Structure 1
Amino acid sequence: QTISNLSEISALSKEWKQLADTQRSFLPPVMPQIDGLSVAAYFRPLVNVSGDYYTVLPISKTKTLLMLGDVSGKGLAAALVMGLVMNTVKILENKDNLPGMIKAVDKAIKGMKLQDKYTVLFLGIVDTEKMTIRYVNASMSDPLIITRSPDGYRIKPLTSNCSLVGIIDLPEVEVAEQRLFRGDVILMASDGVSEVMDDSGEELGNTELYQNTIKASAVKSPKEFIDDVVNLVMTYNGGKKLRDDVTMMVAKVER
């Protein structure tokens, strides 16, 4: 009986590993080479599979689509919705149409009829010719721009302008726009970054330590920036088991 149980566990573990490998195949294995923009990402699921996702899709020589999102819940259902979102965005022909993209994702998730599944996500189009980012922030709490000012770096939030996607009726989807400058850093992160807690229960995203770290790291490459934030998350967590997936993507407008 023991041997039989171990065999079942082993088979199940292999299936979950295959599922995790399949899910990772949806994510970019390497970042594309983009003129005027450098990008790096970090993905650490809490368990084998995750509801977090991200991608980078060049639209033209000067336009690049950035996406990062988080599906509600954990486990297999979240992973299935993650794959659906990624595939929906990938196959859409007009990636310049952000409202159309949000509506397509909304329709696809509702078509699964899972009732309690939805996603928050950030979609942004960086235009290195016009030096702008046009975006829809569907209830993501953390996207922001770190930009240089005369007295050091400052933080400009890319505030939410759209509701949750996939579970409620969507109002008219609005697109916001922000000016970009050479050296600007665009940070997108799942709430596993900002909501990690120290021993007193204070969330990292509410601290000056977090803001000071991302400002100090803005001068670095996207990969080095991410390394600094990951190290901060692990240190701030105090060596405890993480409570959520940790996913980040950082894009830097090259000087």
Structure 2
Amino acid sequence: MSFPRPGYLLLIALLLLGVRAAAQQVVNIDVKISFVPVYVGQGAYADPGHDYWNAVTSGVGATALLASDGVTTTTLSFAMDDPEYANIGFGGDQEFAGNLLADYFYMDGATPTAFTLGGLTPGHAYDIYLYSQAGSSYSTDRAATFTLDGSTQGLTAFTIAAYEEGTNYVRFSVTATGTSLGGSFIGSLGFNEAELNGLQIVDHGVAAIPEPSTYAALAGLAALALVARRRPRR
């Protein structure tokens, strides 16, 4: 009687576990005013070789957004909760990534402006990068405070020549419990205006969890592998 080699047994075990490489997927969104070209390039989350950004030109947002390769259609969507009052503006002195950071949705008032990310996969781990930079080099008059899934982070909105967390973007790490996430932004320092220039959605996926019966099968395979290793060669 011949036994499978231990290497094959390991492969079978991995198949039983349902282990799969998380197909990491990145979706980039650039809030766009008509006369500014869509940004092409890397964001704070580096995705070498992929630099496609979806253009969102109104508060209605967009559905079936393309991944950063510019080809793959995703289930993800983005929209402002009150699209009629989702204003798009332009301004500031940009030193870096101007086509991304020069135009924006802006809120004007004391009430947070809300948005929704849709088409998420429950159980998947996501990093959400939210960009906000529209002031001049030494001004924080457009600084925003973002809330996503109940967590809050603020930034300074200083104009600098690089991506810097807490300055021109914030990052939220969440595990989706449903298919959508709600967020909002408002001025950080009591001013009436704050901006959302764009965002990145990074889906890290999730590893499959084995069923109890799978563990029993793995135990049997381990025993078989041990016998195969100890069996003398003829």
Query: Fold-level match, TM-score > 0.5?
Result: no
Provide TM-score, normalisation by structure 2: 0.30
Provide TM-score, normalisation by structure 1: 0.28
Greater helix share, structure number: 1
Q: Which has the higher contact order (CA 8 A, sep 6+)?
A: 2
- Considering only CA atoms, is the larger Rg found in Structure 1 or Structure 2? 2
